[in-house]
Structure 1
Amino acid sequence: MAEHLSSNRLRWDLSPSDLKARAEKLKETTRAVYDAVGGVSKENVTYNNIIQALADNDCEYGVMRNMLDFPQHVSPNKELREASTDADKVLSEFDVEMSMRQDVFDNLVAFQGKTDVSSLEPEAKRYLEKKIKLGRRNGLHLPKDVQDKVKALKKRASDISIDYNKNVNDENTILEFTEAELGGLPDDFIKRLEKTADGKCKVTLKYPDYFPLMRKAHNPDTRRRMETAFNSRCKTENTAILEELVKIRAQLAKLLGYSTHAEYILEMRMAKTPETVSSFLSGLAEKLRPLQREELEGFLKYKEEDCKKYGYEFDNKINLWDMRYFMNMSEEKRYSVDHDKLKEYFPLEKVIKGSLDIYQLEAG
């Protein structure tokens, strides 16, 4: 496996055409593995031709798929982002198709039936059980007409989820503020902003602009405008997507024998049931409420002082757009944590190099 991976080193210099070609190649090689696994007769299933074959492919596939998916989230090149999104759609549809392979599922069940599972290594035992569990959660134990409905719904959900992310990634709203309206933000933040013809600062809704502004801008209206715009990103197109996703998830849950989407999702997680989550959250909220009241009272005192200092009207409440600002102020005043000072110890170039060194794949 290590040797196989080393011959397919991760690449971040791919062109749009490279992404398309590699996506098709990845489908081709993966389909060949699934065809081979699915083509084994039930009498001849073994650890090597079923479990080992699928596990090796999953490892290789996951690494290569991430390489093709990543550019849509980070590339400044729109053509490359779109090519990555297209590759993601192609592979997401392929993922659904492979997850619904009845022949592969049947051979996994056959292997489980003829093997002393307790004799397997713990990792292999878990892998086998999870693969079969996922097959059942895809409806592979149900009649063919139900499977077809599940498959169609999963493909549609995958497609529109990718569209949702693409809309957010391509969002390019610009807010314009005077330097006075950005009072409280450090000079290096102001200097790096593009300026309009009349000298106003152009601020995007991307994280490098959003978080500093919400933490440091003195002007409540500046924070309100940013918070409102940030939480309204792509609201027209993405609201329609979310509404459709809710319906699809409810349909899938019903088809697969679950009362709700939450019940379906939580089955594979530590909590297991919606009731456990609800009980945990309500109990946690009750225990944290005294601390919440104490912190909000502290924030209100900070806000009253801040409004007097900068000449703003004090409304005697902590609004959504006030939270990050006064949380940051609390860190500075109560715990002597100054994020601007911390930045001085982490120059961008060194942080980038260090991060890449940590995550870099070594040759096998």
Structure 2
Amino acid sequence: MSTAEPTAFPTDGAAWPAFLAGTVDSSLDDARALLARLKDGTSRTTTEVLDLWNDADIAIARSSSAAHLLSEVHPDADLRAAAEERAQAAEDLVTERGLDHELWQVLAATDAEGLEPGAARVREHVLRDFRRAGVDRSAEDRDRLRALAQRCTELGLEFSRNIRDGARSVRVAPEQLDGLPDDFRAEHPAGEDGLVTLTTEYPDLLPVRTYATDPAVRLALTFEHQCIGWPANSPILAELLRLRAERATLLGYPDWPTYDAEIKMIGSGQAIADLIERLDALTAAPAARDVDVMLARYRQDVPGAAAVTPADNLYYDQIIKNEQYDVDSREVREYFRYEAVKPGVLDVVSRLFGITLQPVDAPTWHSDVEVYDVTDDGRVIGRVYLDMHPRPGKFNHAAQFSLVPGIAGRFLPEGALVCNFPTGLMEHDDVLTFFHELGHLVHEVLGGHQPWAMFSGVATEWDFVEAPSQLLEEWGWDADVLGSFATNAAGEPIPAALVARMRAADAFGRGTWTRRQLNFTALSYGLHADPPADLAAYTAEIDARFGPFTPIPDTHQYAGFGHLDGYGSAYYTYLWSLIIAKDLRTGFASGLMDPVVGRAYRDAILAPGGSADAAELVERFLGRPSSFDAFAEWLAEG
């Protein structure tokens, strides 16, 4: 079959409901028809059965991806709501398919004998997923599992919606913006009442937490940010945790993490608990040292200050880096102008992986969105969309969203980068985020040429999927890489000496950063391992053990912890993947921009998608199994 044309979005706002019907609804109808064909009694070979299954997989993925993306980015609230309903319908169909006893019998009757390796892997995974869905349980249990899965999808969508739509703000006097860069102050004039509005969106939140000298302003905005989603999300999360636990029990598992981890690299819920203990031992002392340094510096400004809170840590982190490492974040950000960073980062990744991004004039869901065709030696291999700046009702973090699953010879992969960067000067952390999320997007495209939808794009084990993106952040610390695009207003490239100081300064705070990630990991795992009756009290227990910062009273950060929907008990993924990413970095000993290594990495790690186990992919690239050593050395540098 020839490769289909890329997605054609409406040019008329009134045509969007029809687009949803023609794209999402029709794909779901196609999937239902294909699944019905599998059960029509026709005698088929195993290959024919798996091909029909794959066609249904493609149809579900196309509908689900488009619905989830538009529910997060479309500017019209009614259209977002309609897309969310379709996302629910797609998830419900996946649930129905997994519990369809007749369909399971068709697949179970197939024979693995003589199948090519990819088809054999598909068959194995499909039968595994049927078992994990509970298809072999009693009819009564299947009905309950179906209801539980559908309700969990509803709750997850509502949980995410409350976070997406839950932006808050504070009003402050202009003089309370002391310390903030001039461009930020110019972009935040006082209103008619003489006050300035600051929102909890990242382009306001991060500069305020980093630069505002007034601790009351930092505290006020951080407090509001840590209350996003509250109180609405408290009962939603409580129910979601309870129902996930019930699903796991019905399926014969002791808890949700044990069920969830079974198909991930880590392998078991106990292994997550063991990882937490191991990282606890590694990070406790470095984090405590970092906090002591921050608190001592805080007390120079506020004698008698009792503790460092999340309203203070970014501010004193940059103060210490300025005073002790000669790194002024305000000087650094002068070299990161979005208009130069965007093409620069895209060029770095293009050169590294031997691809080209060609701008395309095509309609999208918003005028801010840019479209690029990805080409390889002149051949188009995918299409990507960059939706980079905040607006009301839009997804308010940073992520890569699939749009079209790439299928070899049939559909080119399409994906969207959805971020919330400022349009002017960026923080260095923004640049690292850009590299990180672009890593997901490139993985989606380069891995999107598998024959099986199940293994296309970023469809690796979920706790490996962050490793390639965390590795790509390393390019944001390289002096030669940054010097190729990071320039100030006069066009002068960022000095290599400044980058060297930035790298030295980055070692400070590594303990607290890792410890904070461990806090989230332990919270994610613990909430699911034994759902607590009191979410706030349990969160306080986690904070008391892992810190590293003293929590702000009366906040409810768990209500805005969006990863509790998508990642569930698996937030450990970020630290687990970071361990792997630091190990992968050792493969670039000859230089980050070595095209031979870049191509070898592309072929070994990115291009296979999920067609092989992640541990095998890592060993292909490194020539050995993955090791903890590089991560431990990196952490010890702090």
TM-score by length of 1: 0.86
| CA separation of 1:292 and 1:165: change in aligned 2, threshold 3 A | same
Aligned counterparts of 1:31 and 1:63: Cα–Cα separation in 2: 13
- What displacement does 1:127 show? 2.0
Partner in structure 2 of residue 44 of structure 1: 44
The 3 A distance-change label for structure 1 pair 60 and 20 is: closer
SS of residue in 2 equivalent to 1:171: coil
Q: Tell me if 1:357 matches 2:357.
A: no
Query: What does residue 9 of structure 1 align with?
Result: 7
Change (3 A) 1:356 1:193: farther
Cα distance between partner residues in 2 of 1:91 and 1:55: 16
2:176 aligns with: 181
Work out whether 1:277 is the aligned partner of 2:272.
yes
2: CA distance between counterparts of 1:356 and 1:167?
29
Q: Which residue of 2 aligns with 1:348?
A: 338
SS at match of 1:290: helix
Q: Give the drift of 1:351.
A: 5.0
- Which has the higher mean CA deviation after the structures are superposed, 180-189 or 347-356? 347-356
Amino acid at match of 1:357: Y
Paired residue type of 2:308: I
Partner AA of 2:16 in structure 1: S
Question: Counterpart of 1:197?
Answer: 192
Amino acid aligned to 2:44: N
Q: Distance in 2 between matches of 1:351 and 1:332?
A: 23
Offset of 1:356 from its aligned partner?
Answer: 4.7
Rounded Cα–Cα distance in structure 1 between residues aligned with 2:275 and 2:24: 42
Q: 258-267 or 175-184: which moved more?
A: 175-184
My pick for the range that moved more, 283-292 or 51-60, is 51-60
Rounded Cα–Cα distance in structure 1 between residues aligned with 2:117 and 2:139: 33
CA contact under 8 A between 2:9 and 2:19: conserved in structure 1? no
The separation in 1 between residues aligned to 2:119 and 2:304, in whole angstroms, is: 62
Instruction: State the secondary structure of the residue aligned to 1:213.
Output: helix
Pair 1:44–1:233, CA change in 2 (3 A): same
- What are the Cα deviations for residues 173-229 of structure 1, in whole angstroms up to 9, with x where unaligned? 221112222222222222223643222111122222222222222222212212221
Q: Which residue of 1 aligns with 2:297?
A: 302
1:128 CA drift (Å): 1.7
Calculate percent identity across the aligned residue pairs: 21
Residue pair 2:210, 2:314 contacting (<8 A) in 1 also: yes
Please give the alpha-carbon distance, in whole angstroms, between the structure 2 residues aligned to 1:341 and 1:121: 57
The match for 1:74 is 73
Aligned length: 351
Residue 247 of structure 1: how far off its partner (Å):
1.3
Name the one with the larger helix percent: 1
Q: Alpha-carbon deviation of 1:83?
A: 2.6
Aligned pair partner of 1:318 in 300, 308, 313? 308
Relative to structure 1, is the Cα distance of residues 328 and 125 closer, same or farther in structure 2, using a 3 angstrom cutoff? farther
CA contact (8 A) 1:168 1:234 kept: yes
Q: Distance in 1 between matches of 2:166 and 2:81?
A: 13
Give the 3 Å change call, closer, same or farther, for CA 313–330 of structure 1 in structure 2: closer
What is the letter of the counterpart of residue 321 of structure 1? A
Comparing 245-254 and 345-354, the one that deviates more: 345-354
CA distance in 1, matches of 2:336, 2:40: 55
**Separation (CA, whole Å) in 1 of partners of 2:59 and 2:331:** 42
Query: Does the C-alpha gap of structure 1 residues 87 and 60 become closer, same or farther in structure 2, counting only changes over 3 Å?
Result: closer
**CA apart distance, 1:286:** 1.0
Distance in 1 (CA, whole Å) between partners of 2:59 and 2:266 is 31
Q: Is the 8 A contact 2:24 2:86 kept in 1?
A: yes
Contact 2:6–2:383 (Cα < 8 Å) also in 1: no
Tell me how far apart the structure 2 counterparts of residues 223 and 140 of structure 1 sit (CA, whole Å): 52
1:88 and 2:87 correspond: yes
Shift of 1:37: 2.2
Q: Secondary structure at the match of 2:232?
A: helix
Aligned residue number for residue 31 of structure 1 = 32
Q: CA separation in 2, counterparts of 1:55 and 1:331?
A: 53
The aligned amino acid for 1:51 is: L
* CA shift for structure 1 position 339: 5.1
Q: Is the 8 A contact 2:31 2:59 kept in 1?
A: no
Question: Structure 1: how far apart are the matches of 2:118 and 2:242?
Answer: 36
Deviation at 1:138, TM superposition (A): 0.8
User: Which of the numbers 237, 249, 257 marks the counterpart of 2:252?
Assistant: 257
Q: State the shift of 1:129 in Å.
A: 1.4
C-alpha distance in 2, partners of 1:335/1:56?
A: 57
Q: Pairwise mapping of residues 59-70 of structure 1 onto structure 2 (< 5 A)?
A: 59-70=58-69
1:203 is paired with a residue whose SS is: strand
Cα RMSD for the two superposed structures = 2.7
1:36 Cα shift? Answer: 1.7
1:97 is aligned to 96
Partner Cα distance (2:10, 2:282) in 1: 47
2:500 aligned residue: none
Match of 1:115 among 87, 108, 112: 112
1:46 partner letter: T
Give 1:220's match in structure 2, choosing from 212, 215, 222: 215
Q: Which runs of 5+ in 2 are unaligned?
A: 347-369, 375-381, 385-410, 413-638
Determine if contact 1:263/1:274 at 8 Å carries over to the other structure. yes
SS at match of 2:307: coil
| SS of aligned partner of 1:120 | coil
Shift of 1:154: 0.5
Cα distance per residue 1:117-159 (max 9 Å; x no partner): xx43433322221111111111001111110100011101101
CA distance in structure 1 between the aligned counterparts of 2:21 and 2:162, rounded to whole angstroms: 21
CA distance in 1, matches of 2:82, 2:341: 29
> Which of 308, 314, 317 is residue 327 of structure 1 equivalent to?
317
1:163 aligned partner: 158
Report the 3-state secondary structure (helix = DSSP H, G, I; strand = E; otherwise coil) of the residue aligned with 1:236.
coil
Provide structure 1 residue ranges, at least 5 long, that are not aligned to the other structure: none
Shift of 1:232: 1.0
The CA distance in 2 between the partners of 1:78 and 1:351, in whole Å, is: 31
Q: Is the 8 A contact 1:16 1:79 kept in 2?
A: no
Distance 1:186-1:60 versus aligned 2 partners, 3 A rule: farther
Measure the CA separation in 1 of the matches of 2:328 and 2:30: 51
Distance 1:344 1:244, change over 3 A: same
Secondary structure, counterpart of 1:320 in structure 2? coil
Q: Provide the C-alpha distance between the structure 1 equivalents of 2:325 and 2:154, rounded to a whole number of angstroms.
A: 46
Q: 1:336 to 1:358 in 2, by over 3 A?
A: farther
Distance 1:71 1:213, change over 3 A: farther
Flag the structure with higher strand content.
2
- Taking a change above 3 Å as real, the CA distance of residues 122 and 297 of structure 1, as seen in their structure-2 partners, is farther
- Aligned counterparts of 1:138 and 1:266: Cα–Cα separation in 2: 14
* Residues 1:291 and 2:294 are matched in the alignment: no
State the shift of 1:338 in Å. Answer: 5.2
Cα deviation per residue 1:237-278 (whole Å; 9 max; x = unaligned)?
110100111111111111111111111111111222222211
Question: Which residue identity lines up with residue 9 of structure 1 in the other structure?
Answer: T
- In 1, Cα distance between equivalents of 2:213 and 2:187: 19
Preserved contact between residue 15 and residue 80 of structure 1 (Cα < 8 Å): yes
